[in-house]
A and B are shown apart, each in its own frame.
Chain A
Amino acid sequence: METLMAYVVGLLFTASIYMMLRRSIVKLVIGLIILSNAANLLIFVVAGLTRGAPPLIPDGASEVVGAVADPLPQALILTAIVIAFSVLAFAVVLIRRAYEVVGTDDLDKMKDTDT
């Protein structure tokens, strides 16, 4: 399953980078969302996929029973999801603000706004 997911993640990266290279600012945002999903999946998949064994210690026990999924990448991704969301919110508001000021959604026409 990891092998298949490697191709899926590759496709996600392709799509996100293609979208981010578009001149339309909305497509840039879409690309950004796909990119964060791609990165999260990447970390998740390379740590190995485990079915039906969440990293929890059962009630009454003080150690995990058997092999469990790797908790470390999960902790990384959990923070990454929330951070990605707030960065996205920031980007989206920034973009809309830029659009209001400049009056265009074409990134190539935004080049001289700071002068």
Chain B
Amino acid sequence: MMLLAVLSGFLLAVAVPTLYRVAGKHIGWVLALLPALLTAYFASLIPAVSDGETLLIRNQWMPGLGVSLDFMVDGLALVFALLISGIGTFILIYAGSYLQGHKDLGRFYVTMLSFMASMLGLVLSDNLITFFVFWELTSITSYMLIGFNHEDAEARKCALQGLFVTAGGGLVLMAGLILLIFITGSYSFSEILASDLAIHDHGYYTAAAVCILIGAFTKSAQVPFHFWLPNAMAAPTPVSAYLHSATMVKAGVYLLARLNSSMDGDALWSNSLMFFGAATMLTGAYLAFSSTGIKKVLAYSTVMALGTLTMLIGVGTEKAIIAFVCVLVAHSLYKGALFMLAGALDHETGTKDITKMGGLWRSMPRTAAITGLAALSLAGLPPLFGFVAKELMFESVINSPGWPWALLTAAVASSILVVAVAGLVFLKPFFGPVRTTPKQPHDAPVAMLIGPAVLTLLALIFGVAPFLPATFVLDATVSSVYGSGVETALALWHGVNVPLMLSGASLLAGSLLFVTWQRLHSTLYAVNTAASRFGPEAGYFRFMLGITQVASWQTRVLQNGVLGIYLLILVLVTFGLTGYTLFTRHGFQLDFDFSNGYFYEFGIALLIVAATIFASVTRSRLGSVASVGVLGFGVALIFIHFSAPDLGITQLLVETLTVILLVLVLFKLPPFVNLSSPWERYRDLAVAVFAGAIMTLLMLAVLDIQYFDSISSYYIENSYGLAFGKNIVNVILVDFRQLDTLGEIFVLGLAAMGVYSMVKLRAEDQHKP
């Protein structure tokens, strides 16, 4: 059931083109049924999980490699799964309307559903390798979605940037996960979390922690990797709302939270989380405040929220983890809503620039009302869930075990900025003087408003009655991040205390900042443009330029275009190294004992030798091809005579086909002429004789000694017992080593495609005038 739940997205993705033809413009509503069902399914797991149970569902995948499709559902995974499927439902409905009539809507849904399935797999996987596979799948689907408008060069560039950063980080993460497997000896999250092994005492700990942190930081857009996320806004808005605010970018945070209880206990882990988290929070808040495009503003405020989440994991106290979970949920709710609303604004007005919008509340009253509520949650004002989350954040930062003052300053500064940002998002477009926009604005259709409305309503309900989500699932989530049972007691009103006063102060300061925004933003813009020349994004571009330069330099040096030289170097190095190893380990020993052969076997050997020599020296192409054929038949005779009937038949058939192929093709080429000088020929002959001699010596050595027992006896003994086959060669091919054979027929397929396209290509060339 769980396997089906995770993979259903992929299955449905396959069916999208057909469904699209049937459902037409209602496709969004039809497809949204799946995430809606999934939400219901995951919701049905809530009672068990909130009782503190961890569900483990086991499925085999590649047991030999320790890879399984095991799923683990605990509080953390369940909250993520609910967010992914719940928000996914609304996003799919929304996208149907937002992209209505787009020629590639089908492709959009295919990738979007694949992404959803990958993301579910990511948060539910128990196996580290499977987790990583899903992790990479989200990077790839994200790449395709950012580059959805693939005819736009800018979108392609942004997509590539996102892919480079996240997939590069993914590679580092893989190293980290493998180190973690080395340390713990287990492939499973649940086992790692359950074991009381002191991971941070192990020699590999530092390396593993750094690798995992880099992987998580790239995915979750932490400083200095934050630059890809705002650029990812080149994607259509439903994608930004789903991937780049509510779900995918939280994968890194998810990983940190997942491993926190095991990796914690070392200063490196918590300090870097606190430092980078706080830095990201502040950077994101500042950049959000200084941007003018509505999607950029929201993207940078997402960066800020991700920083907050990372920082809270780093603080790591019980309070901080409670705050972490609340910020996580609150952010997904309001940010998903705000992005969809921003898309609605963009869709209805035709511009993304907030300086060009104003007074829209008259023409878009419903959109304005929902945006207002969501922005309140963003600013962290009562009575929304964002307020609860922010109060908790302040409280946990004040009591942080490390750097409380620095973190508090950063937190207050960013919440001041965020209040101003919330103003930018809500007040700027909807109030003030009416401005003319490229399109005549009117309220967005129901499909585009239902998602934001429901999400905002949830934020409101959770804010007024925070015990509701707490008792259902958040308690269990906090417990699974913190590592032991925790009772959260969430409330909207904590009485007059320090966090409340800080909130009040930041509201005041933020409002002031918002009022001065008009005057500030051109200055800020100039400052940011100047700073971007030295920022991490500039570093990224310099790095990419460096790669192409190094590539062209090494091509010039190593690949000068003369094939003969490459081959000569290759042969000399390969056989030189082989010969050296052979000489030092075994020594050269010749053996001339030919007594154990029959005379007709000598005959076959002689035939092979004669055919080979003739093929090499003859000046006639036909003679050469024919004698290569004789050589092949000689080899076939050897196979048949020495107990390999399958090989003999195959060799005979292939040899026939080879000759036919050569006849079809080679005689279009000019006849042999001697192109090389005598000196070159003697040089090549010397190299060839050297290589041949090494091979002979190597074979004699191999025949002489045996380092390992043969593994063939296993196949011989079990051919009939396990695989019910009597032809052991065939049993190895199609049963014991089936995967290898499967790979091989794919190689055949590739070769056929290569030949076909080369021939086809030529036909098209000829048709050109």
Contacts and interface: CB of A to CB of B under 8 A. Distances in A.
A contacts B: CB pair < 8 Å = yes
B56 interface: no
B642 A69 contact: yes
Interface string A2-40: 111111111111111111111111110110011001101
Interface in A47-66: 49-59, 62-64
B504 interface: no
A85 to B, nearest CB: 5
A31 to B, nearest CB: 8
Contact of A97 (B646, B719, B748, B762): B762
Given A1-B597, A74-B729, A110-B563, A18 B650 contact: no
Contact of B721 (A27, A62, A111): A62
Contacts of A13: 688, 691-692, 695
Given A41-B635, A57-B720, A4 B597 contact: yes
Contact of B696 (A6, A34, A79, A110): A6
B726 A57 contact: yes
Nearest to A7: B696
A69 B727 CA distance: 12
A92 B639 contact: no
B562 A21 contact: no
Contacts of B761: 97
Interface stretch (B225-233, B381-389, B455-463, B654-662): B654-662
Nearest to A49: B642
B661 A10 contact: no
A92 B564 contact: no
A3 B728 contact: no
Contacts of B562: 107-108, 111
B609 A8 contact: yes
B628 A34 contact: yes
Contacts of A64: 716, 728
A21 B684 contact: yes
A36 B471 CA distance: 69
B624 interface: yes
B568 interface: yes
A88 B563 CA distance: 18
Q: Which are the 4 A-B pairs with shortest beta-carbon distances?
A: A111-B561, A14-B692, A10-B696, A69-B643
24 contacts: A1-B597, A3-B592, A3-B700, A4-B601, A10-B695, A10-B696, A13-B691, A14-B691, A15-B612, A15-B613, A21-B568, A22-B675, A26-B669, A34-B615, A53-B643, A54-B643, A74-B644, A74-B729, A78-B650, A86-B748, A88-B661, A89-B755, A92-B665, A93-B758
Contacts of A70: 710, 712
A63 B741 contact: no
Contacts of B719: 57, 71
A8 B608 CA distance: 8
Contacts of B580: none
Contacts of B751: 86-87, 89-90
Nearest to B617: A15
A5 to B, nearest CB: 7
B101 interface: no
Interface stretch (B7-15, B150-158, B538-546, B732-740): B732-740
Given A10-B699, A70-B712, A44 B639 contact: yes
B703 interface: yes
Interface of A: 1-27, 29-30, 33-34, 37-38, 40-42, 44-46, 49-59, 62-64, 68-72, 74-75, 77-79, 81-90, 92-97, 99-100, 105-108, 110-112
B374 to A, nearest CB: 55
A31 B693 CA distance: 17
B649 to A, nearest CB: 10
Nearest to A104: B670
A14 B601 CA distance: 22
B438 interface: no
Contacts of A72: 710-712, 715, 732
Interface string B551-569: 0000000001111100110
B530 interface: no
A54 B661 CA distance: 31
Contacts of B668: 96, 99
B563 A107 contact: yes
Contact of A51 (B631, B641, B733, B747): B641
Given A26-B666, A64-B716, A46 B702 contact: yes
A55 B638 contact: no
A54 B645 contact: yes
B673 interface: yes
Contact of A55 (B631, B688, B729): B729
B496 interface: no
A108 B591 CA distance: 40
B636 to A, nearest CB: 10
A19 to B, nearest CB: 6
Contact of B675 (A52, A57, A99, A106): A106
Given A29-B662, A86-B751, A93-B665, A5 B605 contact: yes
B689 interface: yes
Nearest to B639: A44
Nearest to B571: A17
A107 B560 CA distance: 13
Contacts of A51: 641-643
Contact of A75 (B612, B733, B752): B733
Nearest to A72: B712
A33 B628 contact: yes
A81 B710 CA distance: 23
Contacts of B689: 14
B669 A107 contact: no
Given A29-B666, A82-B744, A90-B755, A75 B608 contact: no
A20 B608 CA distance: 19
Contacts of B673: 24
A54 B644 contact: yes
Contact of B567 (A21, A56, A95, A111): A21
A81 to B, nearest CB: 5
Contacts of A25: 669
A1 B601 contact: yes
A88 B717 CA distance: 36
Interface string B386-402: 00000000000000000
A77 to B, nearest CB: 6
B86 interface: no
Given A71-B716, A71-B729, A107-B563, 10 more contacts: A19-B615, A22-B684, A26-B621, A50-B643, A78-B733, A81-B647, A90-B755, A97-B762, A108-B563, A112-B561
Contact of A99 (B638, B669, B693, B721): B669
Greatest chain B CB density within 10 A among A21, A22, A62, A81 is at A21
Nearest to A59: B726
A90 B605 CA distance: 30
A29 to B, nearest CB: 7
Greatest chain B CB density within 10 A among A52, A79, A110 is at A79
